[in-house]
């Protein structure tokens, strides 16, 4: 049975669109609110209304919400994530430092820990926007990549952050240890990325792919590898790994994209040397620019110490 909720439309929502008002009042995404209206589950003063109709202050609004066990998608099961650090927390956002081996959210075939389930286990209530298993997630990191992620707690924050990522105003800073020395030492990789035609789990530079832009600068050059400072203009899946593999400078420890397993063994790496070290954006609640940083995890620092001795 649906969860039927009834409220009087507050003065502050006078003239607001139905989908926007329902989203704010009942903590669902605007897309979900529009779907509810389209299915006849939004009733205003006894009349079913569409998503683009306007609310009247004082009117009786009745919304039939699906119960949690009726919602499609993968279940989010509260599961503590050892090593996941909360870097910042307020009413709108939570910034986490994700360890390696942790997914951003539940997905088909993944049985390990994930950020969404870890936040649930820690008692955080995050935005209900997005697919049920991806609630609050506005950007992702690969399971094998560690570092900073921002998760939306309010519906408004989710909307603002998604727009910020789409408009490319978020500063996403990574450090990567790649094989060899890129030439030039400061440059931009502008090459479209698409799903690899021969491997479902891989991506590749291809003409039919989506526009993908990576800016980089060599921080330090070693005999066998280089430490890079990287800023992403776009955010495609595996973007950094794919772009530098295409340049024949794969991330150390990344056999999926052609890294030398012998060098990885010498560096004691069992994952790609890639870390989201910095994240900056306009705070969706205050409008102020905020910036967060993450130190290297122990395994990456150890590999960096070793490469300097080779």
Q: Which residues contact 148 (CB under 8 A, 6 or more apart)?
A: 87, 95, 96, 97, 98, 276, 277, 278, 279, 292, 293, 294
Q: Considering only CA atoms, which of 130, 128, 100 is closest in space to residue 115?
A: 100
Taking a C-beta distance cutoff of 8 angstroms, is the pair 14, 64 a contact? no
Distance CA(208)–CA(191), nearest Å, equals 10
Per-residue burial over 102-116, b if 16 or more Cβ lie within 10 Å, else e, is bbbbbeeeeeebbbb
Distance CA(42)–CA(55), nearest Å, equals 11
Q: Considering only CA atoms, which of 50, 40, 41, 39 is closest in space to residue 17?
A: 50
Q: Considering only CA atoms, which of 219, 184, 230 is closest in space to residue 308?
A: 219
Sign of CA dihedral 42, 43, 48, 51: negative
CA atoms within 13 A on the CB side of 108: 2
Q: Considering only CA atoms, which of 178, 107, 174, 185 is closest in space to residue 146?
A: 174
Residues designated catalytic: 142
């Amino acid at each position: 049975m649906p969860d039927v909720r009834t409220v009087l439309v507050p003065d502050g929502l006078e003239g607001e669109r139905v989908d926007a008002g329902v989203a704010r009042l009942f903590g669902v995404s605007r897309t979900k609110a529009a779907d509810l209206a389209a299915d006849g589950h939004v009733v205003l003063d006894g009349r079913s209304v569409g998503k683009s109709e306007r609310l009247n202050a004082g009117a009786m609004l009745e919304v039939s919400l699906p119960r949690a066990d009726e919602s499609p998608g993968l279940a989010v099961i509260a599961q503590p994530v050892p090593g996941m650090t909360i870097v910042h927390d307020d009413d709108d956002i939570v910034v986490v430092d994700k360890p390696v081996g942790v997914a951003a959210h539940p997905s088909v075939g993944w049985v390990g820990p994930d950020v969404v389930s870890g936040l649930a286990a820690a008692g955080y209530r995050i935005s209900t926007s997005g697919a049920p298993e991806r609630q609050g997630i506005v950007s992702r990191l690969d399971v094998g990549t560690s570092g900073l992620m921002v998760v939306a707690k309010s519906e408004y924050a989710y909307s603002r952050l998604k727009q910020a990522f789409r408009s490319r105003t978020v500063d996403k800073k990574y450090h990567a240890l790649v094989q060899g020395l890129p030439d030039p030492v400061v440059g931009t990789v502008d090459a479209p990325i698409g799903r690899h035609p021969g491997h479902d789990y891989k991506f590749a530079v291809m003409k039919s792919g989506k526009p993908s832009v990576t800016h980089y600068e060599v921080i330090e050059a070693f005999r066998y590898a280089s430490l890079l400072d990287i800023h992403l203009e776009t955010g495609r899946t595996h973007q950094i790994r794919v772009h530098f593999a295409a340049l024949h400078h794969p991330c150390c420890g990344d056999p999926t994209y052609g890294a030398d397993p012998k060098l990885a063994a010498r560096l004691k790496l069992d994952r790609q040397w890639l870390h989201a070290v910095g994240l900056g954006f306009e705070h969706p609640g205050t409008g102020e620019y905020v910036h967060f940083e993450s130190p290297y995890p122990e395994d990456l620092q150890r590999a960096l110490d070793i490469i300097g001795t080779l």
